[in-house]
């Protein structure tokens, strides 16, 4: 039994120029980045480096259309290393480029796992602190022709080097900091509760991420949003720890439920997952309280609650109070909106539930307790709003 998969090598630099010098950035290098972050390091990029901004191919989260267009434009460009500098969109596109070998997006998803090989060196510099994509073997894309988001998981999507440069996060708007770091927290929570894949080692990384992120949130609640600047490297490390956890034991229901919703309303990944976290946790709590769990699941749940109580400084509190406080604290970072506020209809709840049950079994199979299609629909309805 494999206890832990670890990839890539993680390094940190104070500045982008420090990274550029150490890795001899130059001819044969391709940078995939995002327009908002490019000014922070543009002057430090050698002239012979080819640079692509994802926004030149579409707005928002990465899609099959964006990837196919980038792939077509790069057909005549010679490059041996891909450097992703950005959020999850830039990193996921870079991952897919290194494994595509000329394939378009639909071909990548339809290929047999053994057919995908990483053919170029991949270096990732995250400019958010949430997806942890730089340390996972998954890339998420909006598959517009299927009307949903889907994740592609394959070792060929692994990164060779993850480079942490906290200075690249300094101009990150607070809402993006909040939504991306909440994504990291949900990674850790769901990975820890994954009873089909998690190991002692993977749970160690998930626990460390939780016990780093929640105290940072409590500090920000007390000292204000601007105080986050003191925690940028810590949050990047916590994001990577959570990423290592999900590289070994996948996240589950909150992520799965977020995909069809985000595919229709084009919301950031972390925000979409957050919409459904509390509903998921309350469902798990009901199942535990009604005895619908095995002894193993009960033990995992009790261990998780102890971690939560410690991180929230609520030792002795009951499970319901801990889940309520977690939701309250996250609400201090980012307001959790109802589906109705996003423009969803009651019919969407049914459609989302059916889509999630049909297309997201890769993740739903990792849920702490199983969801029927009807329970998924009910979960969507529970966050619809009055």
Secondary structure (DSSP) of 256-294: HHHHHHHHHH---HHHHHHHHHHHHHHHHHHHHHTT-S-
Provide the 10 A C-beta neighbour count for residue 92. Answer: 29
Assigned token pair, 48: 């012979």
Same domain membership, residue 179 and residue 152: no
Q: What is the CATH number of the domain that holds 274?
A: 1.20.1090.10
Please say which residue of 169, 184, 202 terminates a domain.
169
Do 32 and 69 lie in one domain? The reply is yes
Residue 1 included in any domain: no
Output the pLDDT for position 332. 97
> Would residue 273 count as lying in a domain?
yes
Same domain membership, residue 207 and residue 156: no
Specify the residue for token string 């909040």: 178
Phi, psi torsion values for 50, nearest 5 degrees: -80, 130
Q: Structural domain of residue 217, as residue ranges?
A: 174-382
Q: Distance (Å, rounded) from C-alpha 347 to C-alpha 342?
A: 14
| 147, 169, 191 - which closes a domain | 169
Distance (Å, whole) CA 250 – CA 321: 26
Looking at the structure, do residues 187 and 61 belong to the same domain, yes or no?
no
pLDDT beyond 80 at 386 = no
Which of 169, 184, 206 is the last residue before a domain boundary? Answer: 169
Quick check: is 3 in a domain?
Answer: no
Write down the H helix ranges in the chain.
16-22, 64-73, 88-100, 105-110, 174-192, 200-223, 232-248, 253-265, 269-289, 295-311, 319-333, 339-342, 346-359, 361-364, 373-382
**pLDDT given for residue 69 in this prediction:** 96
Q: How many CB atoms lie within 10 A of CB 75?
A: 7
pLDDT tens, 171-181?
899 999 999 99
- Residue 371, number of CB atoms within 10 A of its CB: 22
* DSSP result, 119-138: -SEEEEEESSSS--GGGSSE
Q: Do residues 379 and 353 make contact, with C-beta atoms less than 8 angstroms apart?
A: yes
pTM above 0.85, yes or no: yes
- Residue 103 token pair: 């394939």
In the chain, how many domains are there?
2
250/366 same-domain check: yes
Cα 87 to Cα 181: distance, rounded to the nearest angstrom: 12
Domain CATH code at residue 164:
3.40.50.1970
User: 221 and 344: one domain?
Assistant: yes
Q: What phi and psi, each to the nearest 5 degrees, are found at residue 223?
A: -110, -5
Are 142 and 281 in a shared domain? Answer: no
Residue with tokens 């998924």: 376
Mean pLDDT of 38-48: 96
Q: Are residues 99 and 192 in the same domain?
A: no
Task: Give the separation between CA 108 and CA 118, rounded to whole angstroms.
Answer: 12
- For the record, the structure tokens of 118 come out as 């990483």
| Spatial distance between the Cα atoms of 156 and 158, rounded to a whole number of angstroms | 6
What pLDDT is attached to residue 293? 98
Query: 270: closest CA among 93, 136, 152, 140?
Result: 140
Using an 8 Å Cβ cutoff, are 265 and 338 in contact? no
Q: Do 24 and 98 belong to one domain? A: yes
2 assigned to some structural domain: no
In a domain, 318, yes or no: yes
Residue 322, pLDDT score: 98
| pLDDT, position 183 | 95
Write out pLDDT tens, residues 233-255. Answer: 999 999 999 999 999 999 999 99
Domain co-membership, 114 together with 179: no
């Amino acid at each position: 039994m494999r206890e832990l998969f670890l990839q890539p090598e993680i390094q940190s630099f104070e500045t982008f120029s420090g990274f550029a010098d150490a890795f001899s950035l130059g001819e044969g290098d391709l940078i995939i980045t995002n327009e908002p972050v490019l000014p922070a390091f543009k002057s430090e990029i050698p002239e012979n480096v080819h640079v692509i901004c994802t926004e030149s191919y579409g707005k928002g989260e990465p899609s099959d259309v964006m990837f196919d267009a980038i792939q077509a434009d790069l057909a005549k460009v010679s490059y041996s290393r891909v450097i992703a500098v950005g959020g999850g969109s830039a990193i996921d596109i870079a991952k897919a480029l290194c494994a595509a070998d000329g394939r378009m997006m639909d071909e990548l998803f339809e290929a047999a796992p053994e057919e995908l090989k990483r053919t170029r060196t991949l270096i990732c510099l995250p400019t958010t602190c949430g997806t942890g994509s730089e340390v996972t073997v998954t890339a998420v894309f909006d598959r517009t022709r299927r009307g949903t988001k889907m994740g592609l998981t394959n070792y060929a999507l692994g990164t060779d080097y993850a480079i942490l440069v906290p200075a690249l996060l300094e101009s990150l708007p607070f809402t993006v900091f909040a939504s991306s770091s909440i994504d990291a927290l949900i990674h850790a929570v769901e990975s820890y509760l994954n009873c089909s894949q998690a190991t002692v080692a993977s749970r160690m990384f998930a626990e460390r991420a939780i016990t780093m992120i929640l105290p940072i949130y409590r500090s920000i609640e007390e000292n204000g949003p601007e105080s986050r600047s003191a925690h940028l490297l810590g949050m990047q490390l916590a994001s990577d720890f959570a990423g290592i956890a999900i590289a070994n034991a996948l996240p589950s229901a909150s992520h799965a439920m977020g995909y069809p919703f985000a595919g229709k309303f084009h919301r950031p990944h972390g925000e979409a997952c957050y919409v459904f976290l509390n509903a998921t946790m309350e469902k798990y709590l009901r199942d535990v309280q009604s005895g619908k769990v095995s002894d193993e699941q009960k033990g995992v749940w009790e261990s998780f609650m102890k971690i939560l109580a410690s991180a929230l400084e609520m030792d002795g509190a009951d499970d319901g109070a801990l889940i309520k406080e977690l939701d309250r604290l996250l609400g201090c970072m980012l307001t959790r909106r109802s589906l109705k506020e996003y423009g969803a209809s009651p019919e969407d709840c049914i459609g989302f539930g059916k889509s999630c049950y049909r297309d997201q079994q890769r993740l739903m199979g990792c849920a702490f307790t199983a969801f029927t299609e009807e329970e998924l629909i009910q979960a969507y309805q529970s966050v619809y709003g009055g």
